[in-house]
């Protein structure tokens, strides 16, 4: 690719992935509403509020691919989620449509199925059961990607990211952990295959404890190599939570217990 756009480049995922993806394009365009670290040799920075449609239109111009990490990543008041995750995602897809439909990786979330119990094994065809307003915004993003694929041919990989951190820190994350190198390898395949379509992919490593089934995307040629098992002894040495604790009851963990936050003006 000539230019790959990474939105949300100042966030946790953006900071983790930008250097791992540097080889994928001649120019990596980094964007966020927040300040971004100084660009590297083949990086360029464009600050952008995703809720600003004109700014997003300029942001997407000249891009051959988009890794969309941008938006709100935690449960927040609805207005905050509306601007960052709903209006912002709509603006991104409209800009992509105007600029030739560059392939998109949409960072969805495991929280779209957060209210399934941890003893339920899921495929991508199981109905959504969002655990938060944040998760509802990701359900919207998945539906928007489906609409733009069917109506305009916009290809999107919907990646329902588990827990992409340095290591798992609780029992739930033994099942949801997603190693950064596995994620980078997945992104490479998403932009390498000649035809993508609209796959829903569970963003998870090859953990022994597993709730989600990726058999349907074998054609992508991606196989995670890391596993949370090497952290299991350390995690299981911590005290066992109570049986009704959301972190051991629901796939969405603590998000299932979050209140509905209100803006201070409400």
Is residue 93 flagged as an active site residue? no
Place of tokens 């994350």: 173
Per-residue model confidence (pLDDT) at position 263 = 75
Per-residue model confidence (pLDDT) at position 98 = 98
Q: How much is the pTM?
A: 0.96
With a cut of 70, which residues of the chain have pLDDT below it? 264-266
Phi and psi angles of residue 170, each rounded to the nearest 5 degrees, phi first: -150, 175
Residue 88 CA to residue 53 CA, distance in Å, equals 8
Active-site hit among 90, 116, 134, 148: 134
- What tokens does 178 get? 């997603």
Of 169, 174, 178, 73, residue with least CA distance to 118: 174
Domains of the chain: 3-257 (3.40.50.720)
Per-residue model confidence (pLDDT) at position 264 = 65
Place of tokens 């979330």: 109
Q: Do residues 190 and 220 touch, judged by C-beta distance below 8 A?
A: yes
Beta strands in 111-184 (DSSP E): 156-161
What lies within 8 Å, CB to CB, of 183 at 6+ separation is 17, 161, 164, 203
Per-residue model confidence (pLDDT) at position 262 = 83
């Amino acid at each position: 690719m000539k230019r790959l756009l990474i939105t949300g480049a100042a966030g946790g995922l953006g900071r983790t992935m930008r250097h791992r993806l540097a080889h994928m394009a001649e120019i990596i365009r980094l964007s966020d509403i927040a300040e971004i670290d100084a660009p590297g040799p083949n990086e360029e920075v464009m600050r952008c509020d995703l809720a600003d449609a004109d700014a997003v239109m300029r942001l997407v111009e000249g891009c051959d691919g988009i890794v969309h990490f941008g938006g709100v990543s935690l449960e927040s008041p609805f207005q905050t989620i509306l601007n960052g995750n709903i209006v912002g995602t709509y603006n991104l897809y409209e800009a992509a449509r105007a600029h030739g439909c560059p392939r998109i990786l949409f960072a969805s979330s495991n929280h779209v199925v957060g209210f399934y119990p941890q003893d339920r094994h899921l495929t991508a065809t199981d109905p959504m059961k969002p655990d938060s307003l944040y998760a509802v915004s990701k359900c919207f993003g998945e539906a928007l990607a489906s609409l733009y694929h069917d109506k305009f041919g916009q290809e999107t990989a919907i990646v329902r990211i588990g827990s992409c951190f340095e290591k798992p820190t609780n029992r739930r994350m033994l099942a949801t952990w997603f190693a950064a190198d596995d994620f980078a390898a997945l992104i490479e395949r998403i932009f390498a295959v000649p035809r993508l379509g609209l796959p829903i992919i569970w963003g998870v490593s090859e953990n022994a404890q597993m709730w989600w089934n990726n058999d349907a995307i074998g054609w992508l040629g991606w196989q995670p190599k890391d596993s949370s098992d090497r952290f299991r002894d350390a995690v299981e040495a911590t005290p066992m939570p109570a049986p009704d604790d959301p972190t051991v009851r629901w796939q969405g963990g603590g998000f299932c217990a979050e209140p509905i936050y209100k803006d201070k003006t409400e």
